[in-house]
Amino acid sequence: MNAMQSREIALGELENKTWDVVIIGGGITGAGILRESVRRGLNAVLVEQEDFSWGTSSRSTKMVHGGMRYLKQGNIGLTRESVIERENLIREIPGLVEDRTFIMPYYKGNVLQRLMLQTGLVVYNLLSGKWRKNRCSLSDMAKRAPLVKSNDLKGGFLINDAVTDDSRLVLRVLHEALKQGARAINYCKAETLLKNEHATCGVRVRDTVSGNDYNIQAKLVINATGAWADTLRQQIRKKNNKHIRPLRGSHIILSAKRLPLFDNISLMHPEDGRPVITLTWEGRILMGTTDIDHQDGLSTEASISKKEVKYLLDALNFQFPEAKITEKDVISTMAGIRPVIDTGKTDPSKESRDHVIWLEDGLLTVTGGKLTTFRVIALDTLDKAQKILGNLPDLKQMQNVFDEKVDWNTNHFRHLPDNSVKRLFGRYGNRAKELIGLSSDQNLQTIPDTETLWAEIEWAATNEMVVHLDDLMLRRTRIGLLLENGGTEYLPKIRQLCQKILGWTDQTWEEEENRYLNIWKNHYSLPN
Ligand code: FAD
């Protein structure tokens, strides 16, 4: 049975019963709620209009972090909550969430700011319960970030956080839920809320692959559509007057050869003093983010603008003047939309990033928040869901997110390097054994200049509900972001590996290639 056939089976089950919960939105928020629902014995199904993690959850800065900025705003509660979640995830899924140091260079002058930052760092580290070194010397800086601007440089502050692959995190959480009996269907769009005389009682969805419609009856409908949350809310009768302010955050991805960094750098943008991050990720440099009102509407995929590219390059060239980075060094770009609650602040960056939960006319909307705190958001949502579903067990008890105990002994994995084995177990849990075991020696090689194995492509095509080629290139693996021209060079080999598994004719393959390259050109490369 290929991935598409198992999708058909899940679609066939949609109308057979009344579900306890239907969750709309397959980003980290929806995935987290699905996981915590099924764990409490609820019959739960999730529908996603595009691909899993297609929205903001594949386009974040990839940090699993406490958020020094919340501390600066005096929000100790949110910082503490995030730091605890960060530590849990580092412990539970090594290889997918990895602790990393961020250096903030500091320069001559501004003693007060330096003192404040140092005090903040002490508090930040204390909140995680670990004592960590929080300064590095000039000579250390030269080793860790050789090209950093050296005029008047005094040293660097060290901030400890973690880095992940956001899209794979969503898939790992989804898999955990599916294992316990939940259902999740991609390319299945919620069109119309179903209502009885009292409240919302289900949703009409469209399978966008076949065009078929299904009525899903459910005790509770959860709207976890992030920046799109207001679209569904428009259909309800009694709603509050709050609404979403979609803010765009864009990134550029560069070759690490052009900007050698051994640690991540957090810097202040010279134009507006906003913090911007330069992160080493998957052997590349990920740089972002911008934070501006998204004026382009939500019906098309977001893209970076020329102005944002310039803003990010200006910050890079300010902090690393000798590197002389230009647009030619940009391999790819990505733009995500952050749902924040509109309070009318002039500066978008001043709007709160907390999550909100509203129960309106039987529709439970949850939006905002962070990737890092997805489990906290899920439990908070289920707490509110009790109004409709009755008491649910263990909501106050923080269990592990992942029940699966990952069990590996690096000696047994066909001479793959330890870091590769760890990476695979982080991404696939214990299924990594099967992934490695079933693969030919040839497919256990990495795709040139990446850490991704050919075997991962084959695995995803077989097991991970790939509907379109872009699912495979941009979210199951990230090679479309990491390779020049979206990895066009390797498409013939990927075709050899996957066309038969996916059950695509030659014509379908060609259509899929065109679709992927169009998406890449319009939304993941530099603007024309
Ligand atoms: P999304 O991931 O957007 O998911 C919502 C989904 O709903 C979408 O996939 C969409 O297609 C789907 N949908 C919409 N309408 C329908 C419908 N009618 N039917 C079915 N499906 C529908 N957080 C961190 O912790 N660390 C970071 O480093 C970080 N960096 C960020 C950088 C940027 C630029 C941005 C914008 C955010 C960042 N965040 C970060 C925040 C974090 O990424 C988001 O909070 C999180 O991804 C939101 O997840 P979500 O599931 O709520 O929304």
Q: Render 244-292 in DSSP notation, one character per residue.
A: EEEEEEEEEEEETTTS--SSEEEEE-TTT--EEEEEEETTEEEEE---E
Q: How confident is the model at residue 353 (pLDDT cuts 50, 70, 90)?
A: confident
Of 228, 230, 292, which is best to mutate to test ligand 1, by the most ligand atoms within 8 angstroms of its C-beta? 228
The pLDDT of 175-182, averaged and rounded, is 93
Cβ neighbors of 110 (< 8 A, separation 6 or more) are: none
State both tokens at 303.
């893209």
Gap from CA of 40 to ligand 1 centroid (Å): 24
pLDDT score of 3 more than 70: no
- pLDDT for 9-22, tens place per residue? 889 999 989 999 99
pLDDT score of 410 more than 70: no
pLDDT score of 2 more than 60: no
Mean pLDDT of the chain: 93
Percent over 90 (pLDDT), the chain: 79
Percent over 70 (pLDDT), the chain: 98
Gap from CA of 338 to ligand 1 centroid (Å): 7
The pLDDT of 472-496, averaged and rounded, is 98
The sign of the dihedral angle between the CA atoms of 274, 275, 278, 281 is: negative
- pLDDT for 20-40, tens place per residue? 999 999 999 999 999 999 999
The pLDDT score that the predictor gives to residue 248 is: 98
Q: Are 361 and 236 in contact (CB under 8 A)?
A: yes
The sign of the dihedral angle between the CA atoms of 253, 259, 265, 268 is: negative
Contacts 24+ apart (CB under 8 A), 14-17: 14/45, 14/185, 14/205, 14/214, 14/216, 15/214, 15/215, 15/216, 15/217, 17/43, 17/217
Of 51, 54, 56, which is best to mutate to test ligand 1, by the most ligand atoms within 8 angstroms of its C-beta? 56
Beta strand pairing call for 213-223 and 18-24 = parallel
pLDDT score of 327 more than 60: yes
Look at ligand 1, atom 32, and give the residue with the nearest C-alpha: 60
The pLDDT of 246-273, averaged and rounded, is 94
The pLDDT score that the predictor gives to residue 316 is: 97
- pLDDT for 416-448, tens place per residue? 998 999 999 999 999 999 999 999 999 999 999
DSSP letter, residue 476: I
Residues in the ligand 1 pocket, defined by CB under 6 Å: 24-30, 47-50, 54-57, 60-63, 65, 189-190, 224-228, 249, 289, 336-338, 369-372
Q: How confident is the model at residue 343 (pLDDT cuts 50, 70, 90)?
A: confident
Query: Which of 64-68, 271-275, 290-294, 460-464 has the lowest average pLDDT?
Result: 64-68
Gap from CA of 202 to ligand 1 centroid (Å): 23
Closest ligand 1 atom to the C-alpha of 63? 28
The pLDDT score that the predictor gives to residue 1 is: 45
More confident residue, 77 or 511: 511
Cβ atoms within 10 Å of 95's Cβ, excluding its own: 20
Gap from CA of 56 to ligand 1 centroid (Å): 3
The pLDDT score that the predictor gives to residue 5 is: 63
CA–CA distance, 52 with 246 (Å, rounded to integer):
20
* 477 cis-preceded (ω within 30 degrees of 0): no
- pLDDT for 142-160, tens place per residue? 888 889 999 999 999 999 9
Gap from CA of 25 to ligand 1 centroid (Å): 9
CA–CA distance, 521 with 445 (Å, rounded to integer):
28
Of 54, 58, 59, 61, which is best to mutate to test ligand 1, by the most ligand atoms within 8 angstroms of its C-beta? 61
Closest ligand 1 atom to the C-alpha of 291? 34
Gap from CA of 124 to ligand 1 centroid (Å): 26
**Token pair 């109004």 is at which residue?**
387
Gap from CA of 60 to ligand 1 centroid (Å): 8
Gap from CA of 312 to ligand 1 centroid (Å): 22
- Mapped onto helix, strand or coil, the DSSP state of residue 307 is helix
Look at ligand 1, atom 18, and give the residue with the nearest C-alpha: 190
Q: Which residue type sits at 110?
A: N
The pLDDT of 285-310, averaged and rounded, is 96
The pLDDT of 45-54, averaged and rounded, is 98
The pLDDT score that the predictor gives to residue 391 is: 96
More confident residue, 402 or 364: 364
